[in-house]
Amino acid sequence: MIKFFKKILNSEFLPMSEVRKLKVNVVMLFLFVVTLVTIPFSFFLDYSFLIKFLSLASFAIAYIICYFLIRFNKIFGAIQITMVYSLLLTVFYTQGISSFYAYIFFYITLTIIFFYQEIYSYFIYATVTLTLGVFYTLSYHDGLVTANDVPGSMYLYLGGLIIYYVISFIQIFGNEKFYADMNLEWVKLNNINNNYQEDILYHLEDMRIDMKKSLIYEDLEFQKAAFELSRFIADQIMKEGKDIVNLIDLYIYIHEKGLERILENDEISVAMKKTSNILGRYLLNENSDMFSLLISFYLKIRDTEPYEQNRYNYQIESITDLNDEQLIAFTFVFLYLYDEISETTKWHQLEDRDTLLDNVFANINQEDFFSEQLIAFYLDNKEVFKKRIKKN
């Protein structure tokens, strides 16, 4: 029980699968208490003894099935059964008695379904619950409305149930959209990062060599933090801490020896190779999922330099003040543009390359790049430039 409450307190650090399992356990505990209360309370319901016995036996069987599903880690099936369980429990109460306390069970069932934050399951089971609630309110309103109630209180009961359903659905839909947007953003960032992560990895490796620093996985502080984190995870998922520590040893060993050498080694067991292959996604010295995550996170929180209007200076004069070197630089730019236009006109002959090149120079502010003297020199000798290029 202490471990159970400890997991609840630290649920924000658990993966989604563990959170779902934790939610099922909480709902199961609540349904267990409600079912125990139902046993003595069933004597006041308008059912025969056989119906009461069969209903309670069905609840017990469903509870046992749900328990074994959790034990065998079939969490999705357990979630569905607890929703159906709570819905049938509501039907059992509402068809056996007409009172405000039976009406409250519709809110309880909607809360349990909402608790799982599963949009499709909520849409199915919560809609069924709402339909039954509306039918119950319209059919048994005499038992709900008391003499002290204001006129039209039946419609307040209906409106309250519908509003609760709609607000819960909007919140679940908002959460789904939020997680979907986060996932889409992650996919986009991952695709962008894949274009230059290899360069970043090699650049970091060169920086490390220049600064004569050791690899991150060889750092003692890193290893200490990794071992402490592994023990924390072991406590949360209730597994042997020793096994988790051995996993961290294997993780560091893969960094040292390399994943391919381990997979090609015939002396290593198949089980260890499978584990090594899984851990290969989280290596720090390869372009792995872990490296992608670290780079994406770093780029997300890193502050950029303050904006400066003249941050980048494209003037050739800022590079050199010698006229001949400026002319050489201009010629390189001219050759590059002419070559790019040549590649374009190779596939479609809409305009000749000379016209396209003239359009490029006409649509840019040449003074941002070249001096007035250099521009005048080009305009005076434009035909010479083009003629020499064609000849070569």
How do residues 352-371 score in pLDDT, each as one tens digit?
A: 666 777 777 777 777 778 88
Nearest to 91 by CA among 107, 111, 105: 105
Ranking 25-34, 41-50, 173-182 by mean pLDDT, the lowest is 41-50
Cα(248)–Cα(217) distance, integer angstroms: 11
Answer whether residue 391 shows pLDDT above 70: no
pLDDT > 80? residue 386: no
**pLDDT-wise least confident of 119-123, 223-227, 330-334:** 223-227
What is the domain partition of the chain in residue ranges? 2-180, 202-301, 316-391
Predicted confidence (pLDDT) at residue 86 exceeds the cutoff of 70: yes
Helices and strands, counts by H and E, the chain: 19, 0
Task: List pLDDT tens digits, range 34-52.
Answer: 888 888 877 777 777 888 8
Query: CA distances (Å), 97 to each of 109, 243, 298, in order?
Result: 17, 54, 60
CA quadruple 351, 352, 355, 356: dihedral sign: positive
Q: Is residue 236 predicted with pLDDT exceeding 80?
A: no
Q: Is pLDDT of 58 > 80?
A: yes
**Other residues' Cβ atoms within 10 Å of the Cβ of residue 149:** 13
Instruction: Look at residue 147 in the predicted model and tell me its pLDDT.
Output: 46
Whether residue 79 contacts residue 116, with contact meaning beta carbons closer than 8 Å, is answered with yes
* Pure H helices in the chain: 2-9, 16-41, 49-71, 75-94, 100-115, 119-121, 127-139, 141-144, 153-194, 197-210, 220-236, 241-257, 259-264, 270-279, 289-301, 323-345, 353-362, 372-380, 382-391
- Token duo for residue 286: 């390869």
- The CB density around residue 290, as the number of other CB atoms within 10 Å, is 15
What are phi and psi for residue 223, nearest 5 degrees? -65, -40
Q: For residue 76, what pLDDT is reported?
A: 87
pLDDT in the model for residue 350: 46
Q: What pLDDT, in 10s, does the model give residues 283-321?
A: 887 878 788 778 777 777 777 777 666 666 777 887 888
CA distances from 108 to 168, 172, 190, 350, 385 (A): 13, 17, 42, 71, 83
Q: Does 351 score more than 80 pLDDT?
A: no
Residue of 255, 298, 313 lying closest to 279 (CA atoms):
255
Q: Which residue in the block uniquely carries the two structure tokens 């520590």? A: 245
356 compared with 260, residue with greater pLDDT: 260
Please say whether the beta carbons of 341 and 352 come within 8 A. Answer: no
- pLDDT of 248: 81
Share the mean pLDDT of the chain.
79
Residue 196 reports pLDDT greater than 70: yes
Phi and psi for 148 in degrees, rounded to 5? -85, -5
Structure tokens at 220: 């003692």
Model confidence at 9, in pLDDT bands (50, 70, 90)?
low
pTM of the model: 0.53
Residues 269-285: pLDDT tens digits? Answer: 888 888 888 888 888 87
pLDDT confidence bin for 166, thresholds 50/70/90: very high
Torsion of CA 211, 213, 215, 217, to 10 degrees: -140
Cβ partners under 8 Å of residue 20, min gap 6: 75, 76, 79, 116
